[in-house]
Structure 1
Amino acid sequence: MNILLTGGAGYIGSHTYCELIDKNHNVIILDNFSNSEKTVLKQLELIVKKPVEYIEGDILDFSLLKKTLSKYKVEAVIHFAGLKAVGESVNEPLRYYENNVAGTINLLKALDAAKVYKFVFSSSATVYGTPEYLPIDEEHPLNAINPYGRTKLQIETILKDFSCSNFDMKIAILRYFNPSGAHHSGLIGENPKGVPNNLVPYMMQVANHQLPFLKIYGDNYQTPDGSGIRDYIHVTDLALGHVKALHFLNSTQTPINIFNLGTGKGSSVLEVIQAFNKACGVSIPFKVEGKRDGDVAVCYAKNERAKKVLNWQPVFSLEDMIKSAWKFQQKNKIS
């Protein structure tokens, strides 16, 4: 199958690229490199042992999208391209709505014109907002509480409406929980620009003496050790979920298919720190600060639908995530 990955040079996109190539698909990457590096392409070539087909461009460029879909005879799209920092979205909401929402509308218009009818969307557990019950299943009420989450929720709504007007369209919406870890080769992994927003890359930079200490936001939650609990899923498990979802679209008659991708269990911030200390033999200094607005005590997925319908099963442990992320950090001398 000829597959276009928008944002395919990013963290999750690049890992999904590897898994798709492993399944003998033809994959084209479209990326504007606003939140990724071109060096990732060379790393991908080392992993898959073949040249990477890529286009430097933006999903807001309708003409480029049309040309790309036609030139490569694209049969399916996995849509990763999007801005994704919660704090930044609060400060720059219009930029987030333009890129994420308007960009996706532009992409859907191009797909409609090109008669491309298989679409996998990179959504987020942020669409659920503050959990009303646990574990969170796909029927949980949707109540995004920040601009980033609201862009994801608006796109989901647009996809549902679009599918009602185009009966050939088959869409998978994948709601991620907390992706972590790196490729087993150590060649690609999470390398955010600036101070990391996510726990694991932040820990890696502290361990590598790039940051003085880890900030823990709150230690008096109603949890066993007082720190917040999240559902951390290995990025390779997440990538394999996209492959399974894409294959599922080849057989389903259901227009909209929504799946949580998480492990189904949570780990606290302090547990993740302890796992790093044990797995890597490096002690992580940390300081406790006040809770952040919008943070919740506990959040983890119910993933039974993905297990049953997609035949998908997360296999990597928290220790696997930590070790692979540290291998990537050490191998690439991230700075």
Structure 2
Amino acid sequence: MEDPLPLTSESLRKLGFLTIGLFDAADPRQGHESTLGIIELGERLGFDSAWVRHRHLQYGISSPIAVLAAASQRTSRIELGTAVIPLSWENPLRLAEDLATVDILSGGRLNPGVSVGPPMHYERVKEALYPDTSDVEDFSYNRVKRLLDFVRGVPASDLRGMEGFEVFSDRVQPHAQGLGRRMWYGGGSLRSAQWAGEHGMNFLTSSVVKAEESEDFTEIQLSHIRAFRAHHPDGDRARVSQGLVVIPTDSASPEQRAKYQEYARKRTPRTATPQGPARMMFAPDLVGSAEEIAERLYANAAFREIDEVAFALPFTFEHDDYVQILTDMATKLGPALGWSPTS
């Protein structure tokens, strides 16, 4: 006999959302203001967290830390995250300084998510990015470890104390107490899940995973969650956030519903089989009423293992669409999953 589906009384503890922050090249401010407005709306609706994606040489947020610094001054409660910063584009020491600064400005609300691996289209960008060191840059997990050490207060130099009229610290300043426990790794492979657990990070699992030992998306994602917790000092209490694309339609207009369904229809073929040389698997977008989506989520074995989500907003919709989707998430879908908004 199959296990019964969880009841809604088994609460979703944290409800968040993720946005890419697209903008028009001719008027980039409007797109950035839209993103900040969406984050402010998320706080008013009681969401626990708002996350921004990271895009380089595209028309999406290229500097999430700067955007979240602005968001930190327009909000007072909602947690602010990145999903994710590709560390191959970053200097870990400088990034640690930026993260700590924004965490201090936000009052301890920053949740940085990172990943590693060579930059996308590296052969085309390496001369601009690393003109002198492109062939020796280390894009392994060591880059994450360096960032973790700096954020957590491991010395960055042997210079400390007074030198003339200046005072030096041997560790990154400002030091943001607690930020080290709020570092997330965005992983789509079994090895990434294990590594994140071994190094005491939190784990972001999204709508994309690698087909390594299976071609069933949910089965793969579930194995990652369990491997992460098996290798984490906190075991089953280790934090995991799931980030599927979820589009509730309860208050959507007929035109919006048609647009959402067409968006999902065009993306569905890629969910059938592994894609590309890396054999990436994509989860289907969840479109429908809050009740329908909740039923599909409760049937998802990976969802039943977690109590935090950061539902991903579609890339190419309009501001009013995001307002409708977020409002339905907070007022319809969240409660259907047992979640209560934060006042």
The bucket for the TM-score relative to the shorter chain is: 0.3 to 0.5
TM-score, normalization by structure 2: 0.33
Calculate the TM-score normalised by the size of structure 1: 0.34
